Structure 1
Amino acid sequence: MNETDQKVRLVSGPLQAERLPDGSRRLLRALIVKVRDEEIVVPAGFVSDFRSLPRVIQILIDPARVQLAGVIHDRLYATGQFTRCETDTIWRLTAQSGGGHANSFQAWLGWLLIRLGARFAWDRARKKSRLA
């Protein structure tokens, strides 16, 4: 077990979701992940695109290897439970953990691209949560 695996632990079991007509997916059961000492709960019914990266980067990072990270990242962007920096770091740690995970290069590259390009998504989510 590597250091990252010790920081991220899937508590609820694997992702279970149904594909929606627009290509996004809805969780069929809650997803619970423990990252360091924080428990993150993504409720059943949450809709995600299962990725946080642009499609063009799929050449370098297999989207199947970062699905769990994408769902958690989408949820944390929606809730604002952590800061943007913390949320993006959680994406990287989750992408590197578990079976079939991204390698270190892929996880760090994905993290860098998220840090550079996701400000608009974060701001939009914060504005949406203030209006709700």
Structure 2
Amino acid sequence: MAETDQTVTIMSGPLRTERLSDGSRRLLCDLVVNVRGKEIVVPANFIVDSRSLPRLSQLMIDCSRVDLAGVIHDRLYETGQFTRCETDTIWRLVARSGSSRANWLQAWWGWFLIRLGARFAWDRERKKNRLS
């Protein structure tokens, strides 16, 4: 079965953020998404650095089309709610959903780059959470 936005339901309305002086963004309201029957909540005031994808990927991926996926990915890397593999797959599924979704190639290319390079971020978050 092809991946479509039937796999992902945005339950809280559109993504709303404000840009902070350091370039990161703060969510203005809760973001609630259902991915394959699993509810994911990103709370209001969550700070997003949007660094899931390396800068080089911007040559092939329109970042505005994967913005929502990046917010959810940042939150799931922080919480460890799912495994790293599941979280990266959720990025791809969300990237392919919604009205401004990425095309098939952008979603898979982004997923591939995340799988290659995000291990360090995942490990950093796991270590930080163990120390807290």
Question: With structure 2 as the length reference, what TM-score do the two structures score?
Answer: 0.96
Q: Name the residue aligned to 2:82.
A: 82
Name 1:34's counterpart in structure 2: 34
Deviating runs (4+, > 4 A) in structure 1? Answer: none
Alpha-carbon distance, 1:56 to partner: 1.6
Q: 1:92 to 1:55 in 2, by over 3 A?
A: same
Q: Deviations over 1:85-113 (max 9, x none)?
A: 00000000000011111000000000000
**Secondary structure of 1:4 counterpart:** coil
User: Are the aligned partners of 1:50 and 1:68 in contact in 2 as well (CA < 8 Å)?
Assistant: no
Unaligned stretches of 5+ residues in structure 1: none
Aligned to 2:5: 5
Gaps of 5+ in 2: none
- What is the aligned partner in structure 1 of residue 58 from structure 2? 58
| Percent identity over paired residues | 71
For residues 90 and 84 of structure 1, the distance between their equivalents in structure 2, rounded to whole angstroms, comes to 10
Q: By how many angstroms is 1:49 displaced?
A: 2.1
Cα deviation for residue 4 of structure 1 reads: 2.0
Q: 1:108 to 1:3 in 2, by over 3 A?
A: closer
Count of residues paired in the alignment: 131
Task: Give the distance between the partners of 1:49 and 1:77, measured in 2 at CA.
Answer: 12
Cα RMSD between the aligned structures? 1.0
Instruction: Evaluate the alpha carbon distance shift between residue 97 and residue 51 of structure 1 in structure 2; reply closer, same or farther with a 3 A threshold.
Output: farther
Instruction: Tell me which residue corresponds to 1:44.
Output: 44
The answer to whether the 8 A contact 2:3-2:93 is kept is no
Match of 1:104 in 2: 104
TM-score, normalised to structure 1, is: 0.96
Distance 1:12 1:51, change over 3 A: farther
Three-state SS of the structure 2 residue aligned to 1:21 is: coil
* Counterpart position of 1:121: 121
Q: Is the 8 A contact 1:30 1:43 kept in 2?
A: yes
